[in-house]
Amino acid sequence: MKDVKVRHVAIIMDGNGRWAERRGLPKVEGHRQGARQVTEVLKAAQEYGVEFLTLYAFSTENWKRPVAEVTALMGLLEEFIDDKLPELMKNGIRLRTIGRTEDLFPGARKKLLHAIEMTEKNNGGTLNLALNYGGRAEIVDAVNKMAAEMTEKGGRFPKVTEESFRNYLYAPDIPDPDLLIRTSGELRLSNFLLWELSYSEMYVTDTLWPDFGKKEFEEALEAYGQRDRRFGGRK
Rounded Cα distance between 8 and 54, Å, is 8
Sheet containing strand 52-59, edge to edge, reads 94-98, 126-133, 52-59, 8-12, 179-182, 201-204
Is the predicted pLDDT of residue 235 greater than 70, yes or no? no
Residue 39: partners with Cβ closer than 8 Å, 6 or more residues away = 84, 87
Q: Check residue 36 and give its pLDDT.
A: 96
| Given the residues 3, 14, 83, 122, the one annotated as active site | 14
For the cut 60, the answer to whether the pLDDT of residue 2 exceeds it is: no
**Cα 40 from chain centroid (whole Å):** 16
Catalytic residue among 16, 62, 122, 191: 62
pLDDT range class, residue 156, cuts 50, 70, 90: confident
Residue 231: the pLDDT is 61
| Residue 1 reports pLDDT greater than 80 | no
- pTM here is 0.94
- As a whole-number percent, the residues of the chain with pLDDT over 70 amount to 96
Q: Please state the domain extents for the chain.
A: 8-136+176-225
Contact assessment for residue 214 and residue 41, using Cβ atoms and an 8 Å cutoff: yes
- For this structure, is 14 an active site residue? yes
Instruction: Return the SS3 of 204.
Output: strand
User: Catalytic site residue 91?
Assistant: no
Q: Mean pLDDT, the chain, as a whole number?
A: 94
- Give the tens place of pLDDT for each residue, 111-133: 999 999 999 999 999 999 999 99
Contact residues for 223 (Cβ-Cβ < 8 A; gap 6+): 203
CATH entry 3.40.50.11900 includes domain 8-136+176-225: no
Tens digits of residue pLDDT in 91-106? 999 999 999 999 999 9
What pLDDT, on the 0 to 100 scale, is given for residue 154?
A: 76
